[in-house]
């Protein structure tokens, strides 16, 4: 079995993190992932879309065993209790992914405060609900709230600069996300082969762990992350295309069918995003180049001047996915989609990934000269 500090820290059996992939519901996927022995992450940002994108919100609430009339904190509380109920017998480990960008900080506090309260009121939950994973914002300022409550704290970054900021903040596990990743991707095209070892060299020590994200999807890429010095790897697109995944069937099928050079980068709500190639995303990429070229130049949009037709196009495209409308659907995915050609059960997939990684790591020894 692979020995990893990520497993020792979290109690997960394998050094794999199932990505949050918000704002979409992954409530069932998280349960299946945790029960398969990896760290399962629940998305929470779908709770921010009650009025502007109800098709996302309704799916989230339904799989949380909540009601549409519940307030945000109540939905999350019901989701956490449901998840614990479904993973406790197998000792599954899970956490929540919370966006902490300045625009969402009010919601971030609700999510994190609720998580702390629910766990304190249900102390047995601490055996399984162990992680708060923050993203899309500055980690500095969150340490006292998260770590004083006894949670393991993870944060995702696209750069060494961001990793050093996490180090200053006191993050336990820094996730270095390369440009291969799906949906929200970094402004600069720094890929995992460069980013991960650079982050490991900059911040990894006896108190700070590092995991890779972006392009990891199988035994080969998990082994590569470990050889590059990481303590584990986060996988999103690979988990999306599984039988238990909450994502719409046409989305899963789109990943499986993607093939070589199957993704592109265009605008995506809050900046650059990686989408599966299809006529709709091709059109969006052309519109992005004409109407929001800053996406390709590292310059964020100015929402006082942006052509709102771009945003409306994105909203319509996501709604089409939820409706199963292939003609208007635009589906996010990482570059790893071109390495995915099946839709297995989560546990079978995890076992295959880990077995392959173990065999590859053993074979590394045979490549050394005596």
- What are the structural domain ranges in the chain? 5-247+340-366, 259-332
Q: What average pLDDT does the segment 42-53 reach?
A: 88
Q: Which fold has domain 5-247+340-366?
A: TIM Barrel (3.20.20)
pLDDT digits (tens, 9 = 90+) for 177-210: 999 999 989 888 999 999 999 999 999 999 999 9
Distance CA 238, CA 244 (A): 12
Higher model confidence: residue 346 or residue 58? 346
Q: What average pLDDT does the segment 48-54 reach?
A: 84
Residue 304 has pLDDT above 80, yes or no: no
Q: What pLDDT does 23 receive?
A: 87
Candidates 143, 254, 251, 264; CA nearest to 207 is 143
Residue 368 has pLDDT above 70, yes or no: yes
Q: What pLDDT does 167 receive?
A: 96
Cα 155 versus chain centre, distance:
11
Distance CA 207, CA 204 (A): 8
Percent of the chain residues topping a pLDDT of 70: 99
* Sign of torsion over alpha carbons 80, 86, 89, 90: negative
pTM value?
0.94
pLDDT band at 118 (very low <50, low <70, confident <90, very high): very high
Q: What pLDDT does 1 receive?
A: 83
pLDDT digits (tens, 9 = 90+) for 235-294: 999 999 999 999 999 999 999 999 999 999 999 887 899 999 999 999 999 999 999 988
């Amino acid at each position: 079995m692979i020995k990893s500090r990520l497993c020792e820290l979290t109690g997960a059996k394998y050094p794999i993190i199932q990505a949050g992939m918000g704002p979409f519901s992954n409530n069932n996927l998280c349960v299946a992932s945790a029960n398969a022995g990896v760290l399962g992450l629940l998305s929470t940002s779908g709770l921010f879309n009650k009025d502007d994108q109800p098709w996302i919100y309704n799916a989230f609430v339904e799989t949380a065993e909540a009601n549409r009339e519940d307030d945000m904190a109540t939905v999350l509380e019901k989701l956490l209790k449901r998840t614990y109920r479904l993973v406790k017998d197998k000792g599954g480990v899970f956490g929540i992914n919370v966006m902490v960008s300045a625009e969402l900080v009010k919601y971030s506090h609700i999510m994190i405060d609720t998580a702390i309260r629910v766990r304190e009121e249900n102390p047995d939950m601490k055996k399984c609900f162990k992680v708060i994973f923050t993203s899309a914002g500055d980690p500095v300022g969150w340490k006292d709230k998260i770590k004083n409550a006894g949670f393991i704290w993870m944060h995702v970054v696209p750069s060494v600069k961001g990793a050093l900021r996490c180090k200053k903040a006191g993050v336990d596990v820094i996730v270095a996300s390369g440009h291969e990743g799906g949906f929200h991707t970094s402004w600069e095209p720094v890929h995992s082969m460069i980013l991960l070892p650079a982050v490991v060299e900059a911040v990894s020590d006896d108190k700070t762990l590092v995991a890779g994200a972006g392009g990891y999807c199988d035994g080969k890429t998990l082994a590569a992350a470990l050889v590059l010095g990481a303590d584990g790897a986060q996988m999103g697109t690979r988990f999306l295309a599984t039988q238990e995944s909450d994502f719409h069937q046409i989305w899963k099928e789109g990943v499986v069918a993607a093939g070589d050079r199957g993704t592109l980068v265009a605008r995506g709500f809050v900046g650059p995003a990686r989408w599966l190639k299809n006529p709709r995303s091709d059109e969006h990429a052309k519109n992005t180049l004409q109407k929001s070229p800053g996406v390709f130049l590292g310059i964020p949009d100015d929402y006082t001047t942006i052509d709102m037709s771009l945003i409306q196009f994105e909203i319509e495209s996501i709604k089409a996915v939820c409706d199963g409308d292939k003609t208007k659907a635009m589906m996010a995915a990482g570059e790893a989609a071109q390495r995915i050609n099946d839709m297995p059960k989560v546990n079978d997939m995890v076992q295959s990934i880990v077995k392959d990684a173990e065999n590859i790591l053993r074979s590394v020894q045979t490549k050394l000269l005596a």
